[in-house]
Every structure is written in structure tokens, then in C-alpha cells.
Chain A
Amino acid sequence: LAKTTQPISMDSYEGQEVNITCSHNNIATNDYITWYQQFPSQGPRFIIQGYKTKVTNEVASLFIPADRKSSTLSLPRVSLSDTAVYYCLVAPDSSYKLIFGSGTRLLVRP
């Protein structure tokens, strides 16, 4: 299983774009990259998933370089409600053993 490394915490201000990078140097060919968001006292919530290049949805964008050894979650124009912990998860599409890393604690200030 690919090990992931993320910054422990990040600070931002309302209206800014936030980029959170996850390092996964030993990613395997059939691994997908998935990001989750967790608010205090709630279970994590799926944000976005990708395999290569760029994926965008109504919430975020996910950038994956050609070597796939890292990925960047981009949150455009964050608001106070984006304050949460963000987890990067790397696993094969066929795997059921889904292990979360420590996550990145994002604090958005007014």
C-alpha cells in the first residue's frame, strides 16, 4: 500500500485559493488518489478522486503530475466553512483495505 505524506496544518484567509499537496512516492500503477474532507464531530466526506492529469468538480480540482508521485488538492476561494481536515488516500481500485493518513488541518481565517 502506498504511504502518503501531507502537511500537518495550513492557514489561509477567506477568498484565497488553497493548495494541499500529498506525497505518495511509491504509488502503484493501479492506484487511485482520493481526497476526503472531515468537519469536527462528523465522518469524512468524499471530495474528489483521480488517476492522472486534472480532475475538476463543483467543489475542488485535483492535479496529478505525470509521474503520479504527488497530487494537489486545490480549493478555489475558500470560505470559513472550508475549515476542516483534508485526507489524501491512495489505493488500488480493487483494494478494500482503505487506510487514511494523518490529514491536513486547514484553518480559514476571516
Chain B
Amino acid sequence: NAGVTQTPKFQVLKTGQSMTLQCAQDMNHNSMYWYRQDPGMGLRLIYYSASEGTTDKGEVPNGYNVSRLNKREFSLRLESAAPSQTSVYFCASRNEMVYEQYFGPGTRLTVT
């Protein structure tokens, strides 16, 4: 079991560029999440997906789009990156039986 995997691990973008962060889980969980964590701060929920085919906004959705491609995969897209989006992005899935979230290793994104 790989758990939750994220690609890429690191990325540097110029302002205005676009990119997609990939996330996949092999635990057959229904719900998946995207968080961002700025240096020295807590996690903030960007978007979540309660089940395949559904997505909902979290606390800070502006500037992002998501796609729940299938049960395993949940991607996060930045259409026009801004320096304020420099952060570490964590993907998570949740075991609904015990309400426990499993997090990926994160993607470190720098926008210059």
C-alpha cells in the first residue's frame, strides 16, 4: 500500500503559469481533500470531494480548480499562478469508518 501519493514533490512556477498537482490514494476511500500550508502556519482547506463525482469549496478556494477524476485520483489546478500561492500543498483521503484522514507527503510550490 502506497497510501496517498502526490506529484510533483517540488515545483517552481512563474507568475501567470498554470499547473496541475496530482494526488492518488490506494485505500479505497470515498472522500479526498486538498489543503495548503504556508510557512509556520496551520493547514487551510482548499477543496474537498465527499465522493467520486462531487467536489465542494473549502476555506480558500479562490484561484484553484479541482477534478475528482475517479475514486482514486483528485487533482488540483492553478490556472494562473500568483506569488500568494507559494505554499506546501497536501492531499488527504479519509477512512469514513473511523473518520481518520491520511495525508500525502506534500508538494512544495514556489511562484516567482
Contact = CB atoms under 8 A, between A and B. Distances in A.
Nearest to A99: B45
A44 B103 contact: yes
Interface in A53-110: 85, 87, 91, 93, 96-103
Interface string A28-47: 00001010100001111110
A105 B24 CA distance: 29
B56 A46 contact: no
Interface residues of B, number: 26
A93 B100 CA distance: 10
Contacts of B101: 36, 44, 46, 98
Interface residues of B: mostly helix, strand, loop or mixed?
strand
Interface stretch (B12-20, B35-43, B63-71, B79-87): B35-43
Interface in B49-66: 50, 56, 58-59
Contacts of A98: 33, 45, 48, 94, 101
A103 B42 contact: yes
Interface string B79-112: 0000000000010101000111111111000000
B75 interface: no
Interface residues of A: mostly helix, strand, loop or mixed?
loop
B25 interface: no
A85 B42 CA distance: 9
Interface residues of A, number: 22
A44 B42 CA distance: 10
A49 B94 CA distance: 14
Given A96-B48, A102-B42, A42 B35 contact: no
Contacts of B45: 97-100
Nearest to B43: A100
Interface of B: 4, 31, 33, 35, 41-45, 48, 50, 56, 58-59, 90, 92, 94, 98-106
**Pairs A-B, 4 closest by C-beta atoms:** A43-B103, A100-B43, A96-B50, A46-B100
Interface of A: 32, 34, 36, 41-46, 49, 85, 87, 91, 93, 96-103
